[in-house]
Amino acid sequence: MTSEQTPGARAEAVRSLEAEFSELISRIRKIITENAHRVSPGMLPGAYKVFTSIVRCEPVTQAALAEQLALDKGQLSRTVRELEELGLVTRTPDPADRRSSRLSATPEGLARLTAARAPQQGTLHAVLEDWDLDDIRNLTRLLRALTNGTPPA
């Protein structure tokens, strides 16, 4: 075992990675908060997350959304109702189960989301402009492995 591979060196490397993730998460939270306010002044980040999840998964049932986001069904129901009142989301009967409904974004909701995201459009492209394509692919591969909880391939 080289000095690079000691438990202390590994622990320090993981601490450094955690610190970088902490900074990245802080920046992402700020962007989400700003986007939420642009979609609807006063919108909370949690409601924005629900809304963007509906957009990404639509049409989606409330039960499936609650499971995907690991949210309390009562809280999710209140949030969906707020999104409906804002004109961002609509419900339609679920053809597979008439007792359930499917959630989709309204055209107004999609337009407001597009406008909210516009200031960040291209930011990642700009940051990665001078990166080697292999580095981008490698980062993607490593993040996928980390997200899946598996060693990198």
**One domain for residues 152 and 83:** no
**One domain for residues 22 and 66:** yes
| DSSP letter (8 states) at residue 4 | G
**One domain for residues 151 and 92:** no
Reply yes or no on whether the pLDDT at 11 is more than 60. Answer: yes
For the domain that residue 105 is a member of, what is the CATH number? 1.10.10.10
3 state SS of 100:
strand
**One domain for residues 143 and 97:** no
Sequence-separated (6 or more) residues with CB below 8 Å from residue 62: 73, 76, 77, 80, 100, 101, 103
**One domain for residues 94 and 149:** no
State pLDDT tens for residues 26-50.
Answer: 999 999 999 999 999 999 999 999 9
Helix boundaries (H) for 40-106: 45-57, 62-69, 73-85
Q: What pLDDT band is residue 7 in, cutting at 50, 70 and 90? A: confident
Sequence-separated (6 or more) residues with CB below 8 Å from residue 36: 43, 44, 45, 47, 48, 116
Q: Domains in the chain: how many in total? A: 2
Q: What pLDDT band is residue 15 in, cutting at 50, 70 and 90? A: very high
Q: What pLDDT band is residue 56 in, cutting at 50, 70 and 90? A: very high
Domain limits for position 106: 3-120
Reply yes or no on whether the pLDDT at 1 is more than 80. Answer: no
**One domain for residues 24 and 81:** yes
**One domain for residues 101 and 138:** no
**pLDDT (0 to 100) of residue 2:** 59
Q: For residues 48-56, give the mean pLDDT.
A: 97
CB contact at 8 A, 104 and 54: yes
State pLDDT tens for residues 90-146.
Answer: 999 988 888 889 999 999 999 999 999 998 888 888 999 999 999 999 999 999 999
**One domain for residues 103 and 36:** yes
**One domain for residues 105 and 42:** yes
pTM of the model: 0.78
Sequence-separated (6 or more) residues with CB below 8 Å from residue 103: 54, 58, 59, 60, 61, 62, 65, 80, 89, 90, 91
**pLDDT (0 to 100) of residue 20:** 94
**One domain for residues 90 and 72:** yes
Please tell me the number of Cα atoms within 13 Å of 140 on its side-chain side: 8
**One domain for residues 72 and 142:** no
**One domain for residues 67 and 50:** yes
